[in-house]
Amino acid sequence: MSAPKKVVLAYSGGLDTSIILKWLQTEYGCEVITFTADLGQGEELDPARKKAELLGIKPENIHIEDVREEFVRDFVFPMFRANAVYEGLYLLGTSIARPLISKRLVELAHEHGADAVAHGATGKGNDQVRFELAAYALDPAIKVIAPWREWNLSSRTKLLEFAEQNQIPIAKDKRGEAPFSVDANLLHTSSEGKVLEDPADMAPDYVFQRTVDPVTEAPDAPEYVEIGFERGDAVSINGEALSPATILTQLNELGRKHGIGRLDFVENRFVGMKSRGVYETPGGTILLEAHRGIEQITLDSGAGHLKDSIMPRYAELIYNGFWFSPEREALQALIDKTQEYVTGTVKLMLFKGAARTVARWSDYSLYSEAHVTFEEDAGAYDQKDAAGFIQLNALRLKLIATRNARVKK
């Protein structure tokens, strides 16, 4: 790989990506363009501009963007149509944000005539894979620089030395090492590493940042919320039509208040090892429960079981970084096709750490009280049909049993 001339860096404004910025300038002597995205991580982005300027980035090379609506509309919502969970439990909060960042990095590279993009993910995790697969899928000629895999700043001490040598300001609380590592966006906060590294130890209380403690801080009374859906996507809360990002923001606030969406989890990374993370996905946890609730009455079993059967593969693709791949897009076509009539309203109870569907209704409902009733059904259903249904379903089982009895003699 020849040395890059211009690099678009995913820049948070924090110490680590500031060091990367400087390292790119010194190691490759290349021009750096910074991209800082507001994905709803809940941090001020203005300091990122100032810090970038301080590090010598030209104003026209500093990009700070609010991508929250795009994030929820084009990434989070399509994924929730699938009820995607990784390994049974994880709502993929980090995974789903990476392709959006890569997409903007590559777009900015094209705008600026840059030949490379750079990110601050380490060589042990999944994020490097997600960033890079997305970038290569969008521009096969782009270079991707992953300083953590390249440099020799292998200890905290070396990093701080480099920062000091290069006049990178170090916030006081960054002097010492953080007790764990955090990633956040509008969908979730993940915490991992350090104090969380032994999965036999309970996570300390201070790890949780985004939800109150359901035991000690959540209200003693349940709260009910009604979420409206259209074609599989949430469109309203308690009857008020809202934009995608606003919906997720409000559900996050509800979830935070009731301590909803905490997950202590050991997962299998794509790179081959297990890791333990603590995830907080307040709004997403409510949304998943609600989406399942609305599908219960609007989706038929054929489409529903098909979706369920491909969901693990779909979730795995997102987890592994294959958002921009033909197979994820083909699965999305399948999923989206099933959501045509997933429209209606779900009522949930939020209480001390859990969100539960308690009622649901829809003009698009397939639920037929006329058929299911224990009362007289006025001929909607002829119970005698069941006899034939069972006989033909049993036929092959009878033939097997007959055969087995015969050959065992």
Q: Find the shortest distance in angstroms from Cβ 200 to a second copy.
A: 4
Query: Which one of the listed residues 49, 68, 81, 98 is annotated catalytic?
Result: 98
Q: Residues touching a second copy: how many (CB under 8 A)?
A: 134
**Of all helices (H) and strands (E), which one includes residue 350?**
strand 344-351
State the DSSP string of 184-245.
E-SS-EEEESGGG--TTSPPPGGG--SS--TTTTS-SS-EEEEEEEETTEEEEETTEE--HH
| 14 appears as a binding residue in the annotation | yes
The closest of 93, 126, 128 to 10, measured between CA atoms, is 128
| 111 appears as a binding residue in the annotation | no
Question: Pick from 27, 65, 69, 264: which binds a second copy (CB under 8 A)?
Answer: 264
Residue 235 CA to residue 230 CA, distance in Å, equals 6
| 126 appears as a binding residue in the annotation | yes
181 is catalytic: yes
- Closer of 62 and 286 to a second copy (Cβ): 286
306 CB neighbour count, 10 Å cutoff: 14
Question: Which residues in the 5-24 window bind a second copy by CB under 8 A?
Answer: none
- Closer of 49 and 360 to a second copy (Cβ): 360
Question: Bridge partners of 161?
Answer: none
Sequence length of the chain is 409
| 152 appears as a binding residue in the annotation | no
2 sits near a second copy (criterion: CB under 8 A): no
Supply angle C-alpha 164, 165, 169, rounded to 5.
35
The interface region with a second copy, picked from 56-64, 73-81, 164-172, 292-300 by CB under 8 A, is 292-300
What are the angstrom distances between the C-alpha of 303 and each of 59, 310, 337, 356, 391?
51, 11, 9, 23, 25
Question: Pick from 160, 170, 235, 310: which binds a second copy (CB under 8 A)?
Answer: 310
- Closer of 253 and 327 to a second copy (Cβ): 327
- Closer of 54 and 400 to a second copy (Cβ): 400
| 141 appears as a binding residue in the annotation | no
Question: Which residues in the 189-228 window bind a second copy by CB under 8 A?
Answer: 193-194, 197-203, 214-215, 221-222
Question: Which residues in the 272-291 window bind a second copy by CB under 8 A?
Answer: 272-276
Query: Tokens in use for 294?
Result: 């609305």
Query: Tokens in use for 266?
Result: 């050991």
Query: Which sequence positions are flagged as catalytic?
Result: 16, 98, 127, 181
Cite the annotated binding site for L-citrulline by residue number.
Answer: 90, 95, 126, 130, 181, 190, 267, 279
Cite the annotated binding site for ATP by residue number.
Answer: 10-18, 37, 120
